[in-house]
Amino acid sequence: MWKGKTIVLGVTGGIACFKAAALCSKLAQTGAEVRVIMTESATKFVAPLTFQTLSRHDVIVDTFDEKDASVVSHIDLADRADLVVVAPATANMIAKMAHGLADDMLSTTLLATTAPILVAPAMNVHMYAHPAVQANMQTLRERGVQFVEPGEGQLACGYVGKGRLAEPEELMVAIGRQLQPRPQPLSGRHVLVTAGGTIERIDPVRYITNDSSGKMGFAIAEAAREMGARVTLVKAKTTATPPGGVDIVEVSSAQEMLDAVQSRFADVDVVIKAAAVADYRPAEIADRKIKKKDNTLTLTLVKNPDIVQWLGEHKKHQFIVQFAAETNDAEQYALDKVRRKKSDLLVLNDVTVPGAGFGTDTNVVRLYDAAGLVRELPLMDKREVARELLELVAGRINDRKRDTPEDSGRDR
Ligand code: PMT
């Protein structure tokens, strides 16, 4: 697992740098190639020579200190890394990563790498709890950066609380987990995910929409990519950051979403309809801003095409997953929808349950097929919900016999 891997260890300026030295030593003992990048402030706590001796490689601090004329070192390290670990990560480095700053060797490498990134924060308890730090960490989580939570206890600044760098042993376990080859049960499959809320125009400045942030759909797209699928993300209006490594198709209205899904349908294996699609749209879109006149204004709405219904009616080999956001009689509506629309699975979120549904980072879902309840999941991060859902989907499609009429003739 370790041999032949290049781990870039980024060390930023905090008293916990001494633990990074112990981590560097443990990493080097595994046989992995450990390349250390330090920030200027980190060198005030521990000398680069310590890391050079432990890693048996030059330590880079200055972006412009190019030792090998044949490569540009920050790009070279960024490309060669199998994993970048930032330990300890200061509030400042986390902020730079969240905002895409690249003003030193480490932040530049972090911006240039496509390798997984593992961050182990260490700072004062109040700094760690500060909304700015928490918001920056959330931004990074949404981009797929993994964190090793700091421990609680006596901090070097005198406070007692959360903020100590995780112990080197715990960091080694987290690093080992990152390097382990992940199962790819969706390898060779094309997964299309819809996310966000559709926009139904009233006039050039107004529209009807809903509260979908896109977080659920994005989590599914990202998990599908990690499980080996080629992913197309049909994205309506969202507020979250979409994942990288997927093909994004921007749409606005339900009709545009239908067109985008229909034109790709023959080529996909799985469709997951996490988007919140408007059931109705204004019968007419005014080409000029509607002026305020009477005390009431009546808009006539007409029914939108039902995308899931169309998919259910036209599916051949495709596996269809629909969502349902309900506020009452949830199970009854869920069972009616999965049967009537002929989808293979339905993910029910009762949006009246705290932590479930629109805008949250978590969800509480129940999964149904036409026969009834398949699985009930507790409150979970949307990423975990996405993995559970896709593992079930992968199991079901991989169990299908290749010689069934639906699957025959498919060239994978
Ligand atoms: O984006 P987030 O903030 O993370 O929130 C996630 C979510 C709550 C939006 C998501 O988990 C969810 O429940 N999405 C479906 C919301 C919805 O539109 O539910 P529905 O019960 O109205 O529709 C049922 C299914 O039919 C959905 O898969 C929907 O995409 C689909 N539909 C609906 C109307 C329509 N005209 N065509 C459709 O295909």
pLDDT surpasses 80 at 342? yes
Provide the pLDDT for residue 305: 97
CA distance from start to end of the chain: 30
Cβ pair 217, 195 in contact under 8 A: yes
- Residue 389 inside a domain? The answer is yes
Give the residue, by CA position, lying nearest to ligand 1 atom 27.
323
**Same domain assignment for residues 145 and 102:** yes
| Distance of CA 332 from the midpoint of ligand 1 (Å) | 16
Residues 122-165: pLDDT tens digits? 999 999 999 999 999 989 987 889 999 998 887 777 887 888 99
Q: Is residue 412 part of a domain?
A: no
The number of domains in the chain is: 2
**Are 278 and 227 within one domain?**
yes
169, 241: one domain: no
DSSP for 167-195 reads PHHHHHHHHHHHHSPPP-TTTT-EEEEEE
318 pocket-lining for ligand 1 (C-beta < 6 Å): no
384 in any annotated domain: yes
77 Cα: distance to centroid of ligand 1 (angstroms): 43
Q: Do 195 and 154 share a structural domain?
A: no
pLDDT band at 24 (very low <50, low <70, confident <90, very high): very high
**185 is a domain residue:** no
Ligand 1 pocket residue status of 385, Cβ below 6 Å: no
R_g (Cα) of the chain, nearest Å: 25
Q: Are residues 131 and 213 in the same domain?
A: no
How big, in percent rounded to 5, are the helix, strand and coil portions of the chain?
Answer: 35, 25, 40
Same domain, yes or no, for 369 and 242? Answer: yes
Tell me: do 153 and 243 sit in the same domain.
Answer: no
- Global pTM? 0.74
Give the domain extent around 294: 190-403
pLDDT digits (tens, 9 = 90+) for 80-109: 999 999 999 999 999 999 999 999 999 999
**Is residue 93 in contact with ligand 1, taking CB distance under 6 Å?**
no
- In eight-state DSSP terms, residue 291 is P
pLDDT per position as a tens digit, 169-214: 999 999 999 998 878 999 999 999 999 999 999 999 999 999 999 9
| CATH code at position 95 | 3.40.50.1950
- The reply to whether 167 and 204 lie within a common domain is no
Interatomic CA distance for residues 25 and 344, integer angstroms: 51
Angle between helices 105-112 and 73-80 (to 10 degrees): 50
Is residue 408 included in any domain, yes or no? no
Please answer whether residues 121 and 86 qualify as being in contact, where contact means their C-beta atoms are separated by less than 8 angstroms: no
From 135, 151, 179, the end of a domain falls on 179
200 and 175 both lie in a single domain:
no
**Is 1 part of any domain?**
no
Active site residue 17: no
State the CATH number of the domain containing residue 260: 3.40.50.10300
8 lines ligand 1 (CB under 6 A): no
Ligand 1 near 38 CB (within 6 A): no
| Options 135, 156, 157, 173, the catalytic residue | 157
Residue 54 domain flag: yes
Do 24 and 164 lie in a common domain? Answer: yes
CB 120 within 8 A of CB 173: no
Residue closest via CA to ligand 1's atom 31 equals: 308
Final residue before a domain boundary, out of 127, 157, 179: 179
Share of the chain above pLDDT 70, in %: 97
Q: Which of 311, 322, 366 to mutate to test the pocket of ligand 1 (most atoms within 8 A of CB)?
A: 322
Residue 361 CB less than 6 A away from ligand 1: no
Angle, CA 309 vertex, CA 307 and CA 314 arms, to 5°: 95
What pLDDT score does 68 carry?
75
Of 179, 205, 232, the position where a domain reaches its end is 179
Q: How far apart are CA 249 and CA 247, in angstroms?
A: 7
Same domain membership, residue 246 and residue 142: no
- Residue 410: its pLDDT value, please? 38
The pLDDT tens digits of the residues spanning 50-69 come to: 999 999 999 999 987 777 77
The verdict on 16 and 76 lying in the same domain is: yes
Distance from residue 148's CA to the centre of ligand 1 (Å): 33
Q: Residue 230: CB within 6 Å of ligand 1?
A: no
Residue 325 lies in a domain: yes
Instruction: Give the per-residue pLDDT at 302.
Output: 98
Tell me the best of 198, 238, 277, 367 to mutate to test the pocket of ligand 1, counting ligand atoms within 8 Å of each CB and taking the most: 277
